[in-house]
Chain A
């Protein structure tokens, strides 16, 4: 993995971006999409599992806490893979504020964040006036070298 294979072209970054309504019913399909994408770029089963759950927890937080009940908000999920560095990044962004009142029952939001921090190799939460962004990253282990060259991924 120390050298990029350039004889059949420069390794191309792959990305997967979804904008979805901030509704819990919409999140399973987003989760499945991310999971297939992570498999396709060659992450190990364990990493796919970690990425899927961590991303889902970030999505859940956004869907549960970002918007007032009557506001139609959206969540953007942007996943990218840089073959040279083997770095996978997933960013979940909403344009609302995570409202603390919803999680007064001890640990509800807390457990989700605990999972995000533990499952991602690196995780950051930026909560600002215009929204919240969760950035998570992983370094792809295994399978990258055996990825089919003629991947049908567009």
Chain B
């Protein structure tokens, strides 16, 4: 409640029918919550990566990548997450993946074994607080 909420937005929107990608970063203390919505594919993958890297440059203790609003998630998105984790340094990167569109590719490629996956931002935040 009392946490400072900076609001930052890296969005790319041709607003024609849910295409493209929107990425918004909210800060809750030292935790950055990057909420992504839209489609992560070959075209928007680089924007997703840019948003991840921009959030990491602020050196959050934890970066929660919230994929709840993602409707399509291709391997470029997986590669961006891997790249983010590789450059995370002291930051912890975790992902919120609630629907099969995002959860399935993460499982198939085994990324769920190297990046913690949570079912909600609330759950991810709770884990950070207790650790």
Q: At the interface, yes or no: A31 with Cβ under 8 Å from chain B?
A: yes
The answer to whether residues A53 and B109 also contact, given A25-B43, A107-B79, A107-B82 and a CB cut-off of 8 A, is no
- Range class of the B interface residue count: 10 to 19
**Other-chain residue from A24, A52, A114 in contact with B108 (beta carbon distance below 8 A):** A114
Chain A interface SS verdict (over half): helix
Q: At the interface, yes or no: A122 with Cβ under 8 Å from chain B?
A: no
A24 CB to nearest B CB, Å: 4
A22 CB to nearest B CB, Å: 11
Bound-state CA distance A31–B74 (Å) is 11
A112 CB to nearest B CB, Å: 4
**Chain B contacts to A: CB under 8 angstroms:** 19, 39, 41-43, 72-76, 78-79, 82, 100-101, 104-105, 108-109
**Chain A contacts to B: CB under 8 angstroms:** 24-25, 27-28, 31, 46, 49-50, 52-53, 56-57, 60, 63-64, 105, 107-108, 111-112, 114-115, 118-119
